[in-house]
Structure 1
Amino acid sequence: MTGDQNDTFARLKTALPQRWFGSTSDSMPVVDSILTGIATGLSFIYSLYAYAKNQTRIKTSSDGYLDLIASDFFGSTVQRKANQSDASFLATIIANMFRERATRNGIIKVLQDITGRTPTIIEPMRPADTGVYGGPLIGYSAAGAYGSMLMPYQAFVIAYRPAGVGIPSVAGYGIPTGAYSTASQAEWSSLSMVQNDVTDADIYAAIDQTKAAGTIIWTAIAANPRPPVTYLDSTFVLDQSQLL
């Protein structure tokens, strides 16, 4: 590999006068030992150069330099999660850097990315959300929502918390598969052990960073969408999650 100890050693030996030291394939214990020592130092210097070069571009950065990049571009709004790998954090930085913003779809996408769930969005001045008299998507106390011509540049958003993955390898209370020091083990646990936790503050911040300037987004956060309501005397199902 370019720049490693063997490559540097071969380059140094090739540069020696063959009249004095023979060909590069000749074994010269004393000379080879000296060249190996020099090659070790030079290969280390080259590795530092290669590492520093990688940190000058976002897509090849790693370690703490990714945290510095996130701080430069986003301040404290995008930070590495606990135990998050470099590859995962880099993907988060790139996604936020080129994220769609100032649109309805941008809010939907950012909430899908951080929670894994699609939010409910209702714009009071958008007939597709509120329905219209004599049209579809409307049913009193069943579908649609109240509209208003007096609420321009405003929307209601219901965001749903991520389902979460719990605590890996730890069985639930009373589960017969639980056993100490084995898979699905039984263990005293705490909330700090729950992984992939997204806080309500993260959800509010994501919406605030994505919405258009000058707009008002009325936000509610729920654990789960309301279940759909099925009317037995009809052939369709009305989605009650559209209600506020």
Structure 2
Amino acid sequence: MVDALIQGLASASAFAYALYQYAVLQTRIKTATEGWLDMIAADFFGTALMRSANQSDASFRARIILSLFRERATRNAITRVLTDLTGRAPIIIEPQRPADTGAYGAPNSGYGVAGAYGSILLPFQAFVQAYRPASSGIPYIAGYGSPPGGYSAPSRAAYAALSQSTGAVTDADLYTAVDSVKPIGTIVWMSISS
């Protein structure tokens, strides 16, 4: 009888201690798991940083930490966030920056030469040419003009939808990323191409 009583108290204490250890792990980003990691992201970023479908805790944790310590409010911040998302560096032109637009008598400018026009009438503005990520298509679906696909023949050809593409970065993701790192009070005009 005494053994059962002591064993019951020990089991309850062991459960309480395990729960305490689990709770301690959830108080730090580096050790938080599951829904607690989602709550941490919501606390810091609101709805701007959500877990992707089937994203692991380790991957989501890395995104949270990257977003917390990401460079902001600089030209390089825009370049880095777009390069991280797409793997392709954007072209950024600031109309008031002579390094982007050139100047009369400068070695980096001249009529009939590729480049951008500058203007002092466009303060605190930038033009960003962003690129969508290079895509390999939809897995296991043959494209038009490829040998595995053909009409009236056993093949891997099919009508496809964008929903079949996994892990795609949307245009909205690119706009949101730039908006999250651009300086407050500036206007960034974006053009997105493939």
In 2, Cα distance between the equivalents of 1:221 and 1:142?
A: 24
- What does residue range 114-125 of structure 1 map to in structure 2 within 5 Å? 114-125=85-96
2:175 aligns with: 204
| Residues 134-173 of structure 1: pairs in structure 2 closer than 5 A | 134-140=105-111, 142-168=113-139, 170-173=140-143
Shift of 1:166: 3.6
Number of the residue aligned with 1:52:
23
Kindly tell me: are residues 192 and 124 of structure 1, through their superposed partners in 2, closer, same or farther at Cα, counting changes over 3 Å?
same
Percent identity of equivalent pairs: 56
Q: 1:187/1:154 Cα in 2 relative to 1: closer, same or farther (>3 Å)?
A: same
- List per-residue Cα deviations over 1:29-88 (Å, max 9, x = no partner): xx7x99988776655444322221110111111111111111111111111111111111
In the alignment, is residue 112 of structure 1 matched against residue 83 of structure 2? yes
Match of 2:64 in 1: 93
1:127 aligns with 2:98: yes
- The superposition leaves residues 99-154 of structure 1 with CA deviations (integer Å, 9 ceiling, x where unpaired) of 11111111111111222211110011111111223333335454220001221111
Q: How many residues align?
A: 184
**Whole-Å separation in 2 of the counterparts to 1:187 and 1:39:** 63
CA distance in 2, matches of 1:163, 1:132: 35
Once residues 144 and 69 of structure 1 are traced to their aligned partners in structure 2, the CA distance between those partners, rounded to angstroms, is 45
| Alpha carbons 2:91, 2:129 under 8 Å: kept | yes
Q: Which residue, out of 77, 83, 90, partners 2:54?
A: 83
Give the Cα separation in 2 of the matches to 1:40 and 1:204.
Answer: 53
For the residue of structure 1 that corresponds to 2:55, the secondary structure is coil
TM-score (norm 1): 0.66
Going from structure 1 to structure 2, the CA distance change for 1:41 and 1:140 (only over 3 Å counts) comes to farther
Task: Provide the TM-score with structure 2 as the length reference.
Answer: 0.81
Which structure is larger by alpha-carbon Rg, 1 or 2?
1
Q: One-letter code of the match for 1:64? A: G
Q: State the AA in 2 paired with 1:102.
A: A
How far is the alpha carbon of 1:193 from its aligned partner? 2.4
1:202 Cα offset (Å): 1.3
RMSD of aligned alpha carbons: 2.8
1 or 2 for the larger relative contact order (CA 8 Å, sep ≥6)? 2
For residues 203-226 of structure 1, what are the alpha-carbon distances to aligned partners after superposition, in whole Å with 9 as ceiling and x for unaligned?
A: 111111211111111111111xxx
In 2, are the aligned partners of 1:165 and 1:195 still within 8 Å (CA)? no
The 2-side partners of 1:171 and 1:34 are apart by 64
Q: Does residue 220 in structure 1 map to residue 191 in structure 2?
A: yes
- The aligned runs of 1:18-37 (5 Å cut-off) are none
Q: Alpha-carbon deviation of 1:167?
A: 3.5
